[in-house]
């Protein structure tokens, strides 16, 4: 099965700490790791490892972080022909703090992800489509409008979306925080809603 993922590509900096900091607080004793990430890249990699032939459409910077961010995708033969290298924006970065229970706080510096505009999309997407909201919303809306088959949208990070997107999505995925943000709007569409729990 062929799947298209339109989404973010980041390099994640993950700090583990005994507790998550409160506003204005500095927490010490953290360990730092770097991992390829981004919701789009993660979804593409997972689908590829489950046996799909995945095409990823996204954007990275023309910098050293781009190579690191794409490492796992290339190793698993994800089709990255739809990933553009942007000379003017850096590769996206996520700063992630994680406590011993796995709860986290995440700040994303989107970088090149926010330069992934509808012009980068094909005229039609004739296979199942997976998206999230870490790209410009007009790109997400355009991708949904060009899809002819199954559409799965992870409504993260939570932000206003059109009724058209909600109606067109066959599957909507949210966590508990996002479910609270969207409330009854989630049930205005015709598809199924999955609410994930925990970290």
Q: Report the percentage of the chain scoring pLDDT > 70.
A: 99
Domain assignment present for 43: yes
Length in residues, the chain: 199
pLDDT higher than threshold 80 for residue 30: no
Q: The tokens 């015709």 sit on which residue?
A: 190
Tell me the C-alpha distance between 192 and 189, whole Å. Answer: 8
Averaged pLDDT, 76-81: 98
Averaged pLDDT, 26-37: 89
Query: What's the whole-number average pLDDT of the chain?
Result: 95
| CA-atom Rg of the chain in angstroms | 17
Model confidence at 198, pLDDT cuts 50, 70, 90, reads low
Domain assignment present for 190: yes
pLDDT higher than threshold 60 for residue 199: no
Domain assignment present for 159: yes
> How many folded domains does the chain comprise?
1
Question: What's the pLDDT score for residue 197?
Answer: 87
pLDDT higher than threshold 60 for residue 86: yes
Model confidence at 188, pLDDT cuts 50, 70, 90, reads confident
Q: Which of 156, 144, 139, 130 is nearest to 56 (CA)?
A: 130
Domain assignment present for 28: no
Domain assignment present for 27: no
Task: Kindly state the DSSP code that residue 91 receives in the 8-state scheme.
Answer: P
Q: Do residues 116 and 59 make contact, with C-beta atoms less than 8 angstroms apart?
A: yes
Q: Do residues 91 and 8 make contact, with C-beta atoms less than 8 angstroms apart?
A: no
Q: Which of 58, 20, 17, 38 is nearest to 140 (CA)?
A: 58
Domain assignment present for 19: no
CATH code assigned at 73: 3.40.1190.20
User: What is the span of the domain harbouring residue 125?
Assistant: 2-9+39-91+112-196
Question: What's the pLDDT score for residue 98?
Answer: 93
Question: What's the pLDDT score for residue 11?
Answer: 98
Domain assignment present for 175: yes
Q: Which of 105, 109, 143, 106 is nearest to 125 (CA)?
A: 143
Which helix (DSSP H) or strand (DSSP E) does residue 146 occupy?
A: helix 137-146
Please, what is the Cα angle at 153 between 54 and 126, to 5 degrees? 45
**What digits encode the pLDDT tens for the residues 89-148?**
999 999 999 999 988 999 999 999 999 999 999 999 999 999 999 999 999 999 999 999
Tell me the C-alpha distance between 111 and 14, whole Å. Answer: 18
């Amino acid at each position: 099965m062929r799947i298209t993922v339109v989404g973010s590509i980041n390099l994640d900096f993950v700090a583990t700490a005994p507790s998550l900091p409160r506003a204005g607080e500095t927490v010490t004793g953290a360990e730092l790791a770097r991992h390829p990430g981004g919701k789009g890249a993660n979804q593409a990699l997972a689908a590829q490892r489950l046996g799909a032939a995945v095409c990823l459409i996204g954007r990275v910077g023309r910098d050293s972080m781009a190579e690191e961010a794409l490492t796992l995708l290339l190793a698993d033969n994800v089709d990255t022909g739809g990933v553009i290298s942007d000379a003017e924006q850096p590769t996206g970065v996520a700063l992630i703090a994680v406590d011993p229970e796995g709860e986290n706080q995440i700040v994303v510096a989107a970088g090149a992800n926010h330069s992934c505009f509808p012009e980068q999309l094909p005229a039609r997407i004739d296979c199942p489509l997976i998206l999230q909201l870490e790209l410009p919303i007009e790109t997400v809306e355009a991708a949904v409008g060009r899809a002819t088959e199954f559409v799965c949208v992870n409504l993260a990070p939570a932000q206003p979306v059109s009724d058209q997107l909600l109606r067109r999505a066959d599957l909507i995925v949210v966590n508990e925080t996002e479910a609270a943000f969207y409330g009854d709007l989630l049930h205005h569409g015709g598809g199924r809603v999955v609410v994930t729990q925990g970290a």
